[in-house]
Structure 1
Amino acid sequence: MTDDLLGRHRSVLPDWLALYYEHPIEITHGEGRHVWDADGNRYLDFFGGILTTMTAHALPEITKAVSDQAGRIVHSSTLYLNRPMVELAERIAKLSGIPDARVFFTTSGTEANDTALLLATTYRRSNTVLAMRNSYHGRSFSSVGITGNRGWSPTSLSPLQTLYVHGGVRTRGPFAALDDYDYVAACVDDLKDLLGHTRPPAALIAEPIQGVGGFTSPPDGLYAAFREVLHERGILWIADEVQTGWGRTGEHFWGWQAHGRSGPPDMLTFAKGIGNGMSIGGVVARSEIMNCLDANSISTFGGTQITMAAGLANLTYLLEHDLQGNARRVGGLLIQRLRAAAAQVPAVREVRGRGLMIGIELTRPGTDRADPEAASAVLEAAREGGLLIGKGGGHDTSALRIAPPLSLNVAEAEEGADILERALRSIR
């Protein structure tokens, strides 16, 4: 049956629509931190539909909220007052830390970043954008145009002029050998030099931890130091929180808070986990930025009632059960286990991350050369062992990405670590 579905998939869907595994699987249902495929195989899910099943599969509180809302009304568009949308916007605005915040809902992180770019370029009357090397911000024409990761940027055509900044990858690049203090100083000097050679950009958009890039990040405080330089010149800071938001990093609710000494960003974008699988994205911005558009606009599917009901139930569950604290505790245990296991595997260059957002970079032993074949082999071995993980990275997709639902318990973390250890040892 799976082979038949694969053939049908290939006959009607694009060739560039990636599938994991030599023999792709169809996931039919899930519960908690586990999913099942069409052949009845059970897997521990350490990727959550690309960091999207944030709390748990088939969480009763969320399924009931969706079912109840579906029995009333599913959709009406933004042309009518929408109580669930207002209620979720109120909560997100307060949680964002942005003063006098306004919230606009979209259906995806791509659309959220696209909207943030529209707002920034309109507000600043500039089509120049600063972005980080190794970054990823979506697959629309504008967001692909600012993506600093060759593997996910299929065209150089863009409505924007993009200038790429150093700093998103701590252990690679010209400043990698410096200590954290000097690394930040060198990146700031580079930013200042870059700004001296161009007309003032609209904004810097940056992921606090780069997602598709392999869960790489700069030292804490880099974006705060950047913000001081940007603020002096009136340039906006957009924090792309599509993967880092909602407590996933454990230590903070938002990724920007690791860089927060200069205050919150001017805008933040979110998506993925807030809907726990329902299509929710959005932008939070200061009111004068959000309200700068002088033309009418709507969102047909952004903020629709059924997704807002899911988001409200999901956010309530996350806060009431302190899933941020759980990510810190269980994620800390998991990363320690993985570092201990990786120390015995020459192909592992680095285990990095925080909370339940962990990356394992693989290289050819004794070198810094990426080893995408090893990453694919570990992905396959983990699946054979009953564990689903992801992969990414700016160097030929040689990083494993580990991001379970935030309700992961200690026993499941230990089980997943054991499977991953065996999978890593299989490539020695």
Structure 2
Amino acid sequence: MSDLLARHRAVMPNWLSIYYDEPIEIVRGKGNRVVDAEGHTYLDFFAGILTNMIGYDVPEVREAVERQIATGVVHTSTVYLLRGQIELAEKIARLSGIENAKVFFTNSGTEANETALLLATYARRSDQVLAMRQSYHGRSFGALSVTSNRSWKNNSLSPLNVHFLHGADRHLPQFRGLSDAEYIEVCVEDLRHVLATAVSNDVAALIAEPIQGVGGFTMAPDGLFKAYKEVLDEEGILFISDEVQTGWGRTGSAFFGIQNHGMTPDMMTFAKGLGNGFAVGGVVARGDLMDGPHAIGLATFGGNPISMAAANATLDYVLDHDLQSRAAVTGKILIDGLREAKGRLPIVGDVRGKGLMFAVELVDPATGAPAPALAGRFMEETKKLGLLAGKGGLYGNALRMAPPLTLTEDEAREGLGIILSALETINEEAGK
């Protein structure tokens, strides 16, 4: 493995993040477990960054892909009719709840967000965009401009004029102790103040993640985005919900994350889990917004027949097996178990999440300050115990976990046991 790591470092960029002191190569997967090149088995609680949404080696997905490959047609492009693309778009348009919805497919969440920003700025004839503090929307030039996390921004240059809003930063001193209702009221008044002071007329859109992924699964209280949209609607400002991580029932309480706020956005972007590992992203938007641009457009690989076969099979599997309800049940086992243990673990500053999208924030037990080193220690300990997790957050101290939606109750309890064992070990070490 050291030879493979050396080869990686020789030809891959230094900024390409890779987990663990001794990185692993995953060579096999079945169900919700993977095996590395050394033969070690892991319960996967990060799912390829929320992308292997229904686990590994799923017969329905594998067989759908094999049927398409057997036709000999692995690519045609959008200049021809693509049956699988049309069928998937029909399903997503129906599920979105967006009026007269149309769908455009891309290769990734980054590209999907770029498309949504293009549609919004074109429709509103404005480069002014609102976004959320601590957000992350992708690694491209435009997507980075609406990203509010210094660790992920390479420069201050931007094709957009962006202003960032409060909504997922209740750890700040000015917001501590506020109830949900009080916090929503303060944030709404701040939005009104931004519109009165920081922008010109005709703001294009607000883009927001219902639960912030790279931000460490921080989230606005339910109802905030509905309150924001009521203000935005007064001026015709569009709302883009970035569902790249929160879509397809992962929160357990809603099929799309934004629905937890009791509202329907003008556009939603999606990617990651829809293809269960195959590259697919896209935008679902009001038909008038999608049809608006006057220039010719296409997607060479968007709507690819192989990706569409995988995505149709994945979405059908999620719906046929009611995985949203399963996420609610298994997520409750995990989140309740972690919250119950929090009181006896001084290194745990916060436990948060919805369904199978949850995070544990680690802090210095003496000062309460963010402790990214402890998060790194957790990653190594859970790897040793046979569980894969993720980390992130604004301060690098959030452990974020999002197992496949097919996680069983027994696997949830097994994973909880490993997480608690790791936390107890680290808590003991930190107290010495």
Q: CA deviation at 1:369?
A: 1.8
- 1:245 partnered with 2:247: yes
Aligned to 1:50: 49
Mark the runs of 5 or more structure 1 residues left unpaired by the alignment. Answer: none
Q: Report if aligned partners of 1:170, 1:216 keep a CA contact under 8 Å in 2.
A: no
Letter in 2 for 1:217: M
Aligned to 2:430: none
Q: CA deviation at 1:427?
A: 1.5
TM-superposition CA deviations, 1:125-174 (whole Å, max 9, x none): 11111000000000000001110111111211110111000112333352
Counterpart mapping for 1:23-422 below 5 A: 23-72=22-71, 73-172=73-172, 174-197=174-197, 198-199=199-200, 200-260=202-262, 263-395=263-395, 397-422=396-421
Supply the distance in 2 between the matched residues of 1:23 and 1:312 (Cα, whole angstroms): 37
| Helix, strand or coil at the partner of 2:423 | helix
Q: CA deviation at 1:343?
A: 2.4
Q: CA deviation at 1:342?
A: 2.8
TM-superposition CA deviations, 1:342-386 (whole Å, max 9, x none): 322111110000100001011111434211000000011000000
Tell me which moved more, 176-185 or 372-381.
176-185
| Helix, strand or coil at the partner of 1:426 | helix
Supply the distance in 2 between the matched residues of 1:393 and 1:320 (Cα, whole angstroms): 34
TM-superposition CA deviations, 1:247-277 (whole Å, max 9, x none): 00001001111112xx310000000010000
| Helix, strand or coil at the partner of 2:426 | coil
Supply the distance in 2 between the matched residues of 1:174 and 1:82 (Cα, whole angstroms): 52
How many equivalent residue pairs? 424
Letter in 2 for 1:145: S
Supply the distance in 2 between the matched residues of 1:361 and 1:74 (Cα, whole angstroms): 43
Supply the distance in 1 between the matched residues of 2:31 and 2:386 (Cα, whole angstroms): 15
Letter in 1 for 2:51: T
Q: CA deviation at 1:119?
A: 0.6
Letter in 2 for 1:400: L
Supply the distance in 2 between the matched residues of 1:14 and 1:269 (Cα, whole angstroms): 28
- 1:17 partnered with 2:16: yes
Q: Root-mean-square deviation (CA), in Å? A: 0.9
TM-score norm. by structure 1 comes to 0.98
Q: Report if aligned partners of 1:170, 1:219 keep a CA contact under 8 Å in 2.
A: no
Q: Report if aligned partners of 1:93, 1:102 keep a CA contact under 8 Å in 2.
A: yes
Letter in 1 for 2:226: A
TM-score norm. by structure 2 comes to 0.97
Letter in 1 for 2:323: L
Supply the distance in 2 between the matched residues of 1:74 and 1:339 (Cα, whole angstroms): 47
Q: Report if aligned partners of 1:246, 1:324 keep a CA contact under 8 Å in 2.
A: yes
Q: Report if aligned partners of 1:248, 1:355 keep a CA contact under 8 Å in 2.
A: yes
Supply the distance in 1 between the matched residues of 2:154 and 2:359 (Cα, whole angstroms): 24
Runs of 4+ in 1 over 6 A off after TM superposition: none
TM-superposition CA deviations, 1:312-340 (whole Å, max 9, x none): 00011110101000000111111111222
Q: Report if aligned partners of 1:137, 1:146 keep a CA contact under 8 Å in 2.
A: yes
TM-superposition CA deviations, 1:78-98 (whole Å, max 9, x none): 000000000000000000010
Supply the distance in 2 between the matched residues of 1:26 and 1:342 (Cα, whole angstroms): 33
Letter in 1 for 2:256: W
Letter in 1 for 2:33: H
Tell me which moved more, 152-161 or 365-374.
365-374
Letter in 1 for 2:3: D
Q: Report if aligned partners of 1:342, 1:424 keep a CA contact under 8 Å in 2.
A: no
Supply the distance in 1 between the matched residues of 2:368 and 2:184 (Cα, whole angstroms): 22
| Helix, strand or coil at the partner of 1:339 | helix
